[in-house]
Amino acid sequence: MTQRVSMLIVDDEPSVRDSLLQWFLQEGFRVETAAEAMEALEKMGNSNFDIVLLDIKMPGMDGIELQGRLKEIDSQLVVIIMTAYASVDTAIQALKQGAYDYITKPVDPDDLSRLIRNASEQRRLLRENLSLKEEIRSLVSTEQIVGKSPRMLEVFDAIRTVAQTDVTVMIQGASGTGKKLVARTIHSNSKRKYFPLITLNCGALTDALAESELFGHEQGAFAGARYRRKGKVELADRGTLFLDEIGNIGPKAQMDLLRVLETRRFTRLGGNAVVEADFRIISATAKDLEEAVKEGGFSEDLYYRLNVFNIRLPSLTQRASDIPPLVDHFVEKFSVAMNKPFTGVSSGAMELLTQKASWPGNVRELQNAVERAVVVGRPPIITASDFAGLVAPGGPSADVVLPLAEMEKRHIQLALDKSGGNVSLAARLLGVDKATVYDKIGKYGLVY
């Protein structure tokens, strides 16, 4: 049913705050107000809002900067800018940075009420769309593990056995074997599926960052901690915390992690309150951790705590009989995505793929090869020559000129992969703003 709209009003003028508060209370909204930026950020940290009405001109932090910070907390937030005079420049700047709309004070009541009606509708759609996307993604992910080889049937068995339980799982497998996919499948088949699956990319986690990434921080916990932020552990409450590339985690972070795994309690950085979280742990590693434990690089205690139920993923050459169904699956997937009506690959092409001696990049390498062939090939059949880059030594695509858009798409996907799906981080790697990355994700249908 329709959810009650929640709104945050930020304005340094008490009479504006109060009159808007009254106006929207009468609409039946849940309304809170903030007199300045810090108060707004604090309230955002403590509670969720659908719409923020934000005065552009405030002492301390200006509205544009505050908008950016609020959107960091909730990227789907609908921000409406209020400006006292028709300053088109700042209003447009705000729109460019993702504001939903702006109003010039004073505004006609009918215009305001229409704007708010549309904004709440937009927010509702975003929310629905988001959950729909997640739903589709989880449906897809259960389908996406393709294969019937004996080694994969073992994996499916293991997933079935463990998914419904709360047992800690460690997934081991070389890069490109689908560890993340297995983690997602376990989560979406567990009783925690309606709660979040939170990924922590341990590869990107320096010891200095670990504590605040894991446990979050209170406002003022350190220079730059200008508002409270929830850590991954807290975000994963009632859901699953997926520790990707756990083998790359530093010694200090290992200790922090061990502590919270033992107690399921922690304090936010710079805070005293003990926070409890109920989460399931799935970790993944490409490294041989037993070896790392022997060499002293990985805590033995942590290893045994994480490695309760072990799922070992085969390399692609160990499951070579899965190559044909995987190829068919990827051809279908990319044909639809790129709107090129391929029916399959020629027998020559399939032979080339099944005979290939090694796949160091495993399923991901195969997927990339098919994707490229779909780009360069001509429907209805993909031929061996469309896989030209594959046989050329020195890696694929060195001598093939790809369309610029295709290059851009791959490059952004690479950044998303490297950042573990963290859009802010990916944007930083690419040297563009987050809005641009989101824009491209939508345009190319990228997965993150």
Torsion over CA: 108, 109, 113, 119 (sign): positive
Residue 217's contacts (CB-CB under 8 Å, 6 or more residues apart) are: 225, 228, 229, 231, 268, 269, 270, 271
Contact between 121 and other proteins by CB under 8 A: the answer reads no
Contact between 27 and other proteins by CB under 8 A: the answer reads yes
Of positions 1, 85, 86, 106, contacts other proteins by CB under 8 A: 106
Closest CB 20 distance from other proteins, rounded Å? 6
Closest CB 67 distance from other proteins, rounded Å? 18
The DSSP 8-state label assigned to residue 191 in this structure reads: T
- Residue 205: HSE in the Cβ half-sphere, 13 Å Cα cutoff: 28
Stretch that binds Zn ion, among 21-29, 70-78, 83-91, 182-190 (CB under 5 A): 21-29
The amino acid at residue 60 is: G
Tell me the number of residues near Zn ion by CB under 5 A.
Answer: 1
Residue 272's contacts (CB-CB under 8 Å, 6 or more residues apart) are: none
Contact between 26 and Zn ion by CB under 5 A: the answer reads yes
- Residue 45: HSE in the Cβ half-sphere, 13 Å Cα cutoff: 20
- Residue 59 interacts, among other proteins, Zn ion, none and using kind-specific CB cut-offs from 5 to 8 Å, with none
Subset of 271-290 contacting other proteins (CB under 8 A): none
Q: How far apart are CA 174 and CA 345, in angstroms?
A: 27
* Cβ proximity to Zn ion, 27 vs 207, nearer residue: 27
Contact between 25 and other proteins by CB under 8 A: the answer reads yes
- Residue 431 interacts, among Zn ion, other proteins, none and using kind-specific CB cut-offs from 5 to 8 Å, with none
Stretch that binds Zn ion, among 18-26, 105-113, 401-409, 437-445 (CB under 5 A): 18-26
- Residue 423 interacts, among other proteins, Zn ion, none and using kind-specific CB cut-offs from 5 to 8 Å, with none
Contact between 15 and other proteins by CB under 8 A: the answer reads yes
**C-beta separation of 422 from 201 below 8 A:** yes
Pattern 70-89, other proteins, x by CB under 8 A: ------------x-------
Pattern 86-105, other proteins, x by CB under 8 A: -----------------x-x
Of positions 3, 46, 113, 354, contacts other proteins by CB under 8 A: 113
Closest CB 23 distance from Zn ion, rounded Å? 8
Q: 117-125 — which CB contacts under 8 Å span 24+ positions? A: 119/50, 119/51, 119/78, 119/80, 120/5, 120/50, 120/51, 120/78, 122/78, 123/5, 123/50, 123/51, 123/76, 123/78, 124/2, 124/3
Whether residue 106 is preceded by a cis peptide bond, meaning omega within 30 degrees of 0, is yes
* Cβ proximity to Zn ion, 4 vs 127, nearer residue: 4
Q: How far apart are CA 216 and CA 235, in angstroms?
A: 9
Q: How far apart are CA 313 and CA 135, in angstroms?
A: 25
Q: How far apart are CA 314 and CA 182, in angstroms?
A: 12
User: Which residues bind to Zn ion, rule: CB under 5 A?
Assistant: 26
User: Which residues bind to other proteins, rule: CB under 8 A?
Assistant: 13, 15-16, 18-20, 22-23, 25-28, 82, 103, 105-110, 112-113
